[in-house]
Amino acid sequence: MTIGHSLIAAGLALAGPAVAVLAQGATAPQPATRTLAAPAPAPAVPILSVSIVARYPHDATAFTEGLLWHDGALYESTGKEGQSDVRRVTLDGRIVARRRIDPAQFGEGLGLWKNELISLTWHDGIAHRWDARTLKPTGTNRYAGEGWGLTSDKDGLIQSDGSASLILRDPRTLVERRRIGVTIDGRPLTQLNELEYVDGAILANVWQTGYLVRIAPGTGRVTAIIDLRPLVAEIGARDRDAVLNGIAWDAAKKRLFVTGKLWPTLFEIRING
């Protein structure tokens, strides 16, 4: 099955050669004798491979929903009712601090603003805030809709909810500011899950696939597909829930980490291209 077909099967969009983009809006009538040039095809979305730089142990019981690197440490949020928590872990897999959330809530994505962690919940509309150094709770915010992935840029929080939109939120109140529609070859791309802001672009897991996509924040256009299927194959999980999910970026050392739900391995990778 091709990459394009597998994305279609996931209910997403074509990820092969870009379709021609026609000018939108009304056009003035043209003389019958005038010949119009065919529109230039849009460039194809590149498909990038990765190289594995290192492998680290990862808690194989962690239902990973969010992952980030901050101040020399890895932070992770996990899901499922009764099992959800926020934790700080080392690269040798040790959990050095942990805070559990209400057992009735399903934990989701994890973001950072200043020195405060913000963790989402799936259906509860509650965002929990934590001191990044101590993991002590510092408050909560309410928001509408489902919580999936979360990251941040210099202006605020960026959230996914499984749709083809990224939601820009105020980092202090979580009030929605605006939305960015995400497209690939001009078509909406849904199932965007865990997010990470990396060098001016947004990386997103596409749920239940072996791919990341790189998104231009200003336009929402997918500029690259990153093929992580070799990592998925190496894990060889039989559990349908054990999907690729979790991206962390160490900006100081330019290190990119990925993992998955219930995966025993955290991979440090390099994107080729």
DSSP annotation string for 51-107: EEEEEEE--TT--EEEEEEETTEEEEEE-STTT-EEEEE-TTS-EEEEEEPPTTS-E
Please provide the average confidence, as pLDDT, over all residues in the chain: 88
State the first-to-last Cα distance of the chain, in angstroms, to the nearest integer. 23
Residue 104 burial (CB < 10 Å; 0-12/13-18/19+)?
Answer: exposed
Query: By mean pLDDT, which of 18-32, 135-149, 156-170, 207-221 is the weakest?
Result: 18-32
pTM beyond cutoff 0.75:
yes
Asked whether residue 269 carries a pLDDT value surpassing 50, the answer given is: yes
Residue by residue, DSSP assigns 102-163 as: PTTS-EEEEEEETTEEEEEESSS-EEEEEETTT--EEEEEE-SS----EEE-SS-EEEE-SS
- The backbone torsions φ and ψ at residue 192, rounded to the nearest 5 degrees and listed phi first, read -70, 130
Average pLDDT over residues 191-207: 98
CATH top-level class of 63-272: mainly beta
Asked whether the beta carbons of 261 and 38 are under 8 A apart, the reply is: no
pLDDT band at residue 260 using 50, 70 and 90 as cut-offs:
very high
Q: Where residue 273 falls among pLDDT bands split at 50, 70, 90?
A: confident
DSSP 219: T
Q: What is the number of other CB atoms lying within 10 angstroms of the CB of residue 178? A: 9
**Rg of the Cα trace of the chain?**
20
pLDDT at 42: 56
Which residues lie below 8 Å from residue 129, measured CB to CB, with a gap of 6+? 116, 117, 118, 137, 138, 139, 140, 141
Handedness of CA 132, 135, 136, 139 (dihedral sign): positive
CA–CA separation, 238 vs 233, rounded Å?
A: 11
- pLDDT at residue 101 tops 90: yes
pLDDT at 81: 95
Output the pLDDT for position 43: 66
d(CA 120, CA 101): 10
**pLDDT tens string 211-235:** 999 999 999 999 999 999 999 999 9
Sign of CA dihedral 75, 79, 81, 82: negative
